Homo-oligomer: A and B are copies of this chain.
Amino acid sequence: MAHPIVDIHTHVYPQSYLDMLRARTTVPYVHDPSSGAASRLIILSSDDNPSIPIDQRGRPVDSSYSDIGVKLAFMQLHGITTSVISLANPWLDFLPPKEAQNWAQRINDDLERICAGVNRPADPDGTRPLHEKTTLFAFGALPLSAPSSGIVAAEIARLKTLSHMRGVIMGTSGLGKGLDDSALDPIWAALQKNDTVLFLHPHYGLPDAAFGGPEATDRYGHVLPLALGFPLETTIAVTRMFLSGVFDRFHQLKVLLAHSGGTLPFLAGRIESCIAHERRFIANGGDTQGPKRSVWDVLKTNIYLDAVVYGEAGLKAAIHASGGPDRLLFGTDHPFFPPLNGKENEEWLSVRTNYTSIEAAFPENKDSMIAVLGGNAVRILNLK
């Protein structure tokens, strides 16, 4: 293989983070069954169902969540040369304000140390090309619950001094009021000033009522919240950013959207049409400033999409909405969606599905395929 394969959507729960969750008793938390069975990770409020025995709530924590050796084996198994690891949801959103800054620094330093530890032994003099070595980079976590946005901005600036950091990961809650909250402006400004890519990722899903109440949601396990709740949450979050003018005020903001934008590529046209027909907006005779730029322009200028969409129909829409293949980046969502047959050491179906979609999308253009698999990430995230 003469080209790098870069996984930009791959999560880690550092041991320090799991230990912090272990000390908690409300979502998110880690519970250790008295039986000695595997720890349980309860991160979704829907998982913390009182009708389920606590020893069975959430999901078992296995070594893939924190052991970087498992990550490296997964990468080797799938031909991935470089991973840009990120703290998994719910990140640090839930922390008391006073603890946020310290935890962000600690987690980000842990991530930096993990990357440095992997990269040095394999390539002591740093001269081998990216496709000949296994390399890790990271997206840092932000102390969003900190008492002031200045603390968040300071951490964004500090991350630039850590040599393996290539951006930040953030959920859709922002400071608690969503991403159209004007109180986020200093954070958008810090991201833009530092040329820091924001990886926007879902966690909160949709209210159970959207799926017909808790019973309807529970009936199909995690399918409704994960297959629909997650991408719909991302779509709503980025649309609120767009409608509130974030991309009008911060023209250079770079946002990488999880799961190929949720559903943004598919719905972009409908969003544009609804804006053009909304009487509330000044452009249509109303009294409210609507977005000044088009969502198509933002998709082609500010937004990057991962290629974690599990199908050619979605991938092609993502490519079309992005104006070509140059803004799409391969990812796996590891350690989530492992094979259920116990064969973690064979190629994962979830990864294969995305590989196949990417291969099928470019039957006659290997350059574009190689770009999506890694070249775009190397260029956009400056991976060297």
Binding site for B on A (CB under 8 A): 177-178, 180, 206-207, 209-212, 216, 219-224, 226-228, 231-232, 235-236, 239-240, 243-244, 259-260, 263, 265-281, 284-286, 288, 290, 309-314, 316-318, 320-321, 337-338, 340, 349-350, 353, 357
Residue from B240, B268, B270, B288 in contact with A211 in the complex, judged by beta carbons closer than 8 Å = B240
A212 CB contact (under 8 Å) in B177, B222, B312, B317: B177
Contacts of A350 in B (CB 8 A): 273, 276-277
Q: Across the interface, do A239 and B243 meet the contact criterion of CB distance under 8 Å?
A: no
Known: A207-B210, A211-B240, A228-B235. A316 touches B314 (CB 8 A): no
Chain B nearest Cβ from A219, distance in angstroms:
8
Q: 30 A-B contacts, Cβ less than 8 Å apart?
A: A177-B212, A178-B216, A180-B216, A206-B206, A210-B236, A219-B244, A220-B290, A221-B278, A222-B280, A223-B243, A223-B278, A224-B236, A227-B270, A227-B271, A228-B267, A232-B232, A232-B235, A263-B263, A263-B267, A265-B313, A266-B309, A266-B314, A269-B309, A269-B313, A270-B314, A273-B349, A276-B350, A312-B320, A313-B318, A313-B321
Which B residues lie within 8 Å of A285 (CB)?
340
From B209, B219, B310, B312, contact of A272 by CB (8 A): B310
Copies of this chain, complex-wide, total 2
Chain B nearest Cβ from A361, distance in angstroms: 10
A270 with B266: CB separation less than 8 A: no
Give the contacting residue for A268; candidates B223, B311, B316, B337; CB below 8 A.
B311
CA distance A265 to B314 in the complex (A): 7
Given the complex, which residues of B lie within 8 Å of A219, measured CB to CB?
A: 180, 243-244, 288
Which of these, B239, B290, B320, contacts A316 with CB under 8 Å? B320
Q: How far is the CB of A135 from chain B (nearest CB, A)?
A: 27
- Please, which residues of chain B bring their CB within 8 A of the CB of A290? 220
Cβ 8 A contact of A273, one of B178, B313, B353? B353
Check if B227 sits within 8 Å of A280, measured CB to CB.
Answer: no
Q: Would you call B212 and A206 a contact (CB within 8 A)?
A: no
Known: A211-B240, A223-B274. A269 touches B353 (CB 8 A): yes
Instruction: Provide the bound-state CA to CA distance between A273 and B226, in Å.
Output: 10
Cβ 8 A contact of A270, one of B209, B216, B310, B317 = B310
With A224-B239, A279-B221, A350-B273 in contact, do A267 and B231 touch (Cβ < 8 Å)?
yes
- Determine the chain B residues whose CB is within 8 A of the CB of A317 once the complex forms: 265-266, 313-314, 316-317
Q: Which 7 A-B pairs have the closest CB atoms?
A: A269-B311, A221-B280, A269-B310, A317-B317, A227-B274, A266-B266, A313-B320
Assembly CA distance A274 to B226 (angstroms): 7
Query: Which of A285, A317, A353 has the most CB atoms of chain B within a 10 A radius of its CB?
Result: A317
Partner of A236, one of B211, B269, B310: B211
**CB distance B266 to A223 under 8 Å?**
no
Q: What CA separation (Å) do A314 and B317 show in the bound complex?
A: 6
Within the complex, the shortest CB–CB distance from A86 to chain B, in Å, comes to 19
Shortest Cβ distance from residue A172 to the other chain B in the assembled complex, whole angstroms? 10
A342 to chain B: closest residue by CB? B285
Q: B227–A239 contact, CB under 8 A? A: yes
Contacts beyond the supplied A269-B312, A316-B320: 18 A-B pairs with Cβ under 8 Å: A177-B212, A180-B219, A210-B236, A220-B290, A223-B271, A224-B239, A224-B243, A227-B267, A227-B270, A227-B274, A227-B275, A232-B232, A266-B309, A269-B310, A269-B311, A269-B357, A277-B350, A313-B321
